[in-house]
Amino acid sequence: MPVLITTNIIRNILCKCLFLGKMANLPPRKVTSASKSKQDASPLQILLQMGFRRQRALKALAATGNRSVQLASDWLLTHVSDSNIDADDPREYIFYASPTGPLLSQLLEFWDKSKATCGWNGAHNFLPHITLVSFFKAPDDTSLNLAKAVRQVVENVGDPPKCTLKLEPYVSHNFMGLFISEEHAEYLKKIAVQYVKQVSSVLGVMVDTYEHLDALGTCFPWCAMAQEKNLKSSINLEAHVKSLHITLAYHFEESSYEDLKSLVEEMQPVEHSSWELRLYSRDPRFANHQVYKVTQGYSPQASDELELVLGDYIYIEEKEFDISPDGWVHGTSWLTGLNGYLPAVYTRRTAETDAWTLHKAVSLGNNCSDCKSESGSNTDSEMAATYPHEDAADLAYKKSEETYQEWDKYWSEVMNSRSDSILTITQGLPMNWELSKAAEEMKNNITNGTSKSRRWVFALRHGERVDLTYGPWVPHCFENDTYVRKDLNLPLKLAHRAGGKGGYVKDTPLTRLGWFQAQLVGEGMRMAGVSIKHVYASPALRCVETAQGFLDGLRADPSVKIKVEPGLFEFKNWHMPKGIDFMTPIELCKAGLNVDMTYKPYVEMDASAETMDEFFKRGEVAMQAAVNDTEKDGGNVIFIGHAITLDQMVGALHRLRDDMEDVQPYEIGRNLLKVPYCALGAMRGKPWDVVSPPCPPSINSSSGRFDWRILIK
């Protein structure tokens, strides 16, 4: 009662103050560090919480364009053996105006014709561009502000002239290019000068005095010494304000002159073109190297050889090809920073800019609303497809002869002869089960999952997601909060959710292809004669939809429902900058997903940050509890989650063994980049062993072929 009296007294005092027109001063609130919102943590703070050193974290954020915590942590994990990871060598930045749309297509077509006709020349090293500010070095902790300065420059200078852009061809015996018409050239010069001013402010440097900064007729270097960083050398910023142009060809053989001249004369540059301002950076160690893209994978056979991963880029000095007696050259991997010898025939030369980092791209002429890279937002939708399993351009061409041979018996014996179950074929090959288990026992127990000794447990990554396919799709697909399907691969419709379209920014759905990928896995399991009784899915929408697509392909009984388990969600800190927003079970059910409304999760997950150990622990708790609790009922189990879920399953179930001595510690980066969409991992118990899945993997242009054997510890 005294508490109630005190409360009423305080309420009356406040009411009197308001009545008299006076606002009572609020007492200061004592905020503990524990009560502060962890969602306000910066990407750098999150990486530091994950245990990375500050210098390494800054280097990773700069190297990945400050696009996301996840991309930066992936970079750190893949560069863990890079001898240069702790070197204090700031990146080099360059500022471009780059054409887009029809003009870009026209220029790229010219590039292809000139390479086919006359071979490689200097222009092929870069994407079509106009250089506005030459290479300059800057500390890693300034990379985000350097990117933000691009937008500020356009806001200060304004939109480009409305008149048609005219490009004037120029041909000589050592250079060919397109020069920009005067009015647009003046605009780009102002952009260049303004960016130099902006960067000097960003870097917080003492700049030498230049009284005539508006004299656009000369190039000028700005030399200064960074006070806070105590850089040993000055930062040189050079605004290009003379003869702005797009280079078409240079450093070409004299014998190629006539052919190149003819190609230039044939080209009629489009006048109505779109442009972007782009800020790139590169590793200065490889400024004088050629860049080659890996076209065929290679596993090292000797300690001094370099592993080749499809889609990776290799830095190679030109002299390597001159001194090589056998076609093997020495190179450095863009993906890992490791170096060694490699077969040059497994690579193809490409533009140097392919291995650069894009920090910002702002479209000109539309108030900067069309930004392809928002360096400050750190959302998953902005993660570039720079790693092998997301590289849609090349994965379809991967050589997979060994994998095809492994499954050849499936197609010939099961599909054609129909002589036996796939399981008695595949399970006897890679794991040599004949030596440890009788074939008759396998045939009796393997398909129905009722045997307590050899139950199946699967882990499946979700299918293709909308945001990584289309980038920032929500602003373009919602009109007055109403979803409009603008591409055939986008969802037919989107369900109502409490967070509205903002919820779909944080929690992406599957593409139509993603649904089909999930159905294919279910179909493969059905054709193999394997049933699933227990389905657990991460609360991420893409995972629940994958579970539904899988069940559709499996033609499972409606009684097999999806248990939404928060313990299966990926590392929360990757999502802290944008927040976490899941659909409720009721919303999922209304969306047509067969969710178990009575299921009580093993792990209750909040929106606070977590350590890596806490992440692994909640996944382990959920998986082990699910396997133990379903043992009495029998039936096979599947966990549907993220790329890390497959490794997580292996670690969690190995910890159910009696012999814990051989159990390996959890590793988040071991296979993260090798798990494509809808990759399927499988284990059998007991004892818990990693085995071949009962159906073959799939491959398409945006998803690599998955090799289940990487899960074997």
- Catalytic residue ranges: 461-462, 642
Report the distance separating Cα 569 and Cα 615, nearest Å.
9
> Could you give phi then psi for residue 483, rounded to 5 degrees?
-70, 135
Report the distance separating Cα 111 and Cα 105, nearest Å.
10
Report the distance separating Cα 337 and Cα 323, nearest Å.
23
Report the distance separating Cα 709 and Cα 80, nearest Å.
23
Report the distance separating Cα 17 and Cα 377, nearest Å.
43
Inter-axis angle of helices 101-118 and 257-266, to 10 degrees? 160
Classify 373 as helix, strand or coil.
Answer: strand
Supply 145's token pair. 């502000």
DSSP state of 448: T
Would you say 510 and 518 are in contact if contact means Cβ atoms under 8 Å apart?
yes
Classify 19 as helix, strand or coil.
Answer: helix
Between the alpha carbon of residue 267 and those of residues 177, 251, 633, the distances in Å are: 11, 20, 71
> Could you give phi then psi for residue 179, rounded to 5 degrees?
-95, 145
Inter-axis angle of helices 512-528 and 541-554, to 10 degrees? 40
Report the distance separating Cα 144 and Cα 153, nearest Å.
15
Between the alpha carbon of residue 676 and those of residues 54, 132, 599, 692, the distances in Å are: 31, 39, 29, 16
Which residue, among 529, 615, 612, has the nearest Cα to 568 in the 3D structure? Answer: 615
Which residue, among 585, 702, 709, 669, has the nearest Cα to 82 in the 3D structure? Answer: 669
Would you say 563 and 534 are in contact if contact means Cβ atoms under 8 Å apart?
yes
Supply 364's token pair. 């000109």
Supply 655's token pair. 């910890």
As to burial, measured by CB atoms within 10 angstroms (0-12 exposed, 13-18 middle, 19+ buried), residue 436 is: exposed
3-state DSSP of 540-608 = CHHHHHHHHHHHHHHCCCCCCCEEECHHHCCCHHHHCCCCCCCCCHHHHHHCCCCECCCCCCCCCCCCC
DSSP per-residue string spanning 229-240: TT-SSPEEEEE-
Q: Which residues is 330 bridged to in the sheet?
A: 341
DSSP state of 88: -
Q: How many C-beta atoms lie closer than 10 Å to residue 163's C-beta? A: 10
Q: Is the peptide bond before 601 cis (omega within 30 degrees of 0)?
A: no
